[in-house]
C-alpha cells in the first residue's frame, strides 16, 4: 500500500447502518458556545458549561435526576441509562422550576443553532402561558428569542414576540407534541435569513418547519442592562424572576452554537447520543 491510514478500529460485532454513520460523522466541526450535559448528579445546584463561554447554569428549583425511564423515541431505542446523554438530566416540575446562566446568547441577527433533547412530563394541555424550553433577550418585539410549546395545541414555536400573548414579532411553528417521548429539537437561524423566514426547526433529525407568521418582523436579539433577567433561561421565561411559563418535563444535552449547523451535523447530534445504541430500521 502507498498512502495513509488513520483511526483504525476492530469490533467483535456487526455495526448497523446508523452506527457506521456515527463513525463517519464523528462530531460537528465547530464547538458549542455553551453545552450542558447535566452530569453533575442530584445534589448539584450548578451545571458546568462544557462550551467555550464558561457560563455555568444555576438551577432554580430544577433538579438533576435519574428517575426518568428510557423509552422508544421514533426509531431510536434508548437503552440502559435513563437519560439520552449520560446518566443524568434536568427535571422540571412545570410550576416553578427553571435554570439560568449569565450568558446573553447569540445576539442581533447573527446565525445560531440551539440543540436539546426534551420530554414532556405528561400529555395534559398547557393551560395559559406557553411552556418555555429556552428563552433569552429583551422582552420586546424582534429583540427576544424563545423556543416554547404553545398553550392551545402544544405546537413547537420559535418566537420573536414580546410575550406569548402580545406583540407582532415573528413566529415559526413546528409539530404538535402530544406524547411523553424523548425528542431531539434543533432550531437554526440561517446566515442568509430573510426576516423570520430564516428560521428552521428540526425535530428528531428532520426538517419540521411548518408555518410562519409576521414574516415582516426583523430578528435583532438584544440583551438589556437588567443584571438578573434576559439571560439564557432553560425551562422558563427569561423576563421574570422567578421565571414564569415553566416547562413540565425533562431536558438533556443542551447546546448553543454561533453557526447554523448543516443537516448532516444536526442528524449527527440526533444519532450520536450515548444511549442510542440500537437503531430499529424497520
Is the pLDDT higher at 99 or at 166? 99
Averaged pLDDT for residues 32-56: 94
Highest mean pLDDT pick, 25-34, 107-116, 205-214: 107-116
Distance CA 98, CA 92 (A): 7
pLDDT at 37 over 80: yes
Q: Residue 71's pLDDT is what?
A: 34
Q: Residue 214's pLDDT is what?
A: 79
Instruction: Note whether 189 and 218 are within 8 A (CB).
Output: no
Averaged pLDDT for residues 73-80: 36
Question: Which fold, 26-279?
Answer: Jelly Rolls (2.60.120)
Distinct helix (H) and strand (E) counts, the chain: 2, 20
Give tens-digit pLDDT for 149-178.
999 889 999 999 999 988 888 999 999 999
For residue 207, what is its C-alpha cell? 426538517
CB burial string 3-14: b at 16+ within 10 A, e below: eeeeeeeeeeee
For residue 38, what is its C-alpha cell? 447535566
- According to DSSP, residue 40 is labeled S
Q: Residue 26's pLDDT is what?
A: 52
Averaged pLDDT for residues 197-205: 92
- The percent of residues above 70 in pLDDT, for the chain, comes to 85
Instruction: Note whether 234 and 100 are within 8 A (CB).
Output: yes
Model confidence at 282, in pLDDT bands (50, 70, 90)? very low
Lowest mean pLDDT among 15-29, 104-118, 138-152, 243-257: 15-29
Is the pLDDT higher at 207 or at 123? 207
Q: What is the mean pLDDT of the chain?
A: 85
Distance CA 23, CA 70 (A): 24
Model confidence at 127, in pLDDT bands (50, 70, 90)? confident
Model confidence at 281, in pLDDT bands (50, 70, 90)? very low
Q: Residue 75's pLDDT is what?
A: 37
Model confidence at 217, in pLDDT bands (50, 70, 90)? confident
Closest to 174 measured CA to CA, from 193, 204, 202, 214: 202
pLDDT at 28 over 60: no
Distance CA 143, CA 267 (A): 29
Q: Residue 76's pLDDT is what?
A: 37
User: 46 — alpha (psi -120 to 50), left (phi > 0) or beta?
Assistant: beta
Is the pLDDT higher at 153 or at 76? 153
Is the pLDDT higher at 78 or at 213? 213
Q: How large is the C-alpha radius of gyration of the chain? A: 19
For residue 60, what is its C-alpha cell? 432554580
Closest to 228 measured CA to CA, from 60, 14, 21, 15: 60
Amino acid at each position: 500500500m502507498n498512502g495513509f491510514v488513520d483511526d483504525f478500529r476492530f469490533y467483535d460485532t456487526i455495526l448497523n447502518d446508523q452506527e457506521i454513520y456515527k463513525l463517519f460523522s464523528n462530531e460537528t466541526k465547530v464547538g458549542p458556545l455553551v453545552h450542558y450535559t447535566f452530569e453533575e448528579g442530584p445534589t448539584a445546584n450548578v451545571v458546568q458549561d462544557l462550551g467555550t463561554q464558561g457560563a455555568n447554569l444555576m438551577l432554580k428549583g430544577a433538579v438533576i435526576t435519574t428517575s426518568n425511564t428510557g423509552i422508544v423515541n421514533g426509531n431510536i431505542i434508548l437503552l440502559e441509562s435513563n437519560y439520552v446523554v449520560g446518566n443524568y438530566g434536568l427535571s422540571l416540575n412545570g410550576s416553578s422550576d427553571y435554570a439560568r446562566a449569565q450568558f446573553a446568547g447569540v445576539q442581533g441577527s447573527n446565525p445560531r443553532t440551539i440543540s436539546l433533547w426534551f420530554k414532556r412530563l405528561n400529555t395534559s394541555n398547557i393551560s395559559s402561558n406557553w411552556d418555555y424550553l429556552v428563552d433569552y433577550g429583551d422582552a420586546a418585539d424582534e429583540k427576544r428569542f424563545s423556543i416554547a410549546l404553545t398553550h392551545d395545541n402544544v405546537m413547537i414555536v420559535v418566537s420573536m414576540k414580546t410575550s406569548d400573548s402580545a406583540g407582532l414579532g415573528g413566529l415559526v411553528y413546528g409539530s404538535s407534541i402530544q406524547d411523553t417521548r424523548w425528542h431531539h429539537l434543533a432550531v437554526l437561524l440561517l446566515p442568509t435569513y430573510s426576516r423570520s423566514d430564516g428560521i428552521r426547526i428540526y425535530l428528531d433529525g428532520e426538517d419540521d418547519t411548518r408555518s410562519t407568521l409576521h414574516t415582516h418582523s426583523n430578528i435583532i436579539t438584544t440583551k438589556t442592562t437588567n443584571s438578573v433577567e434576559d439571560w439564557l433561561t432553560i425551562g422558563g421565561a427569561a423576563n421574570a424572576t422567578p421565571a414564569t411559563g415553566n416547562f413540565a418535563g425533562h431536558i438533556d444535552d443542551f447546546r448553543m452554537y454561533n453557526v447554523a449547523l448543516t443537516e448532516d451535523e444536526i442528524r449527527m447530534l440526533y444519532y450520536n447520543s450515548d444511549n442510542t445504541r440500537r437503531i430499529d430500521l424497520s
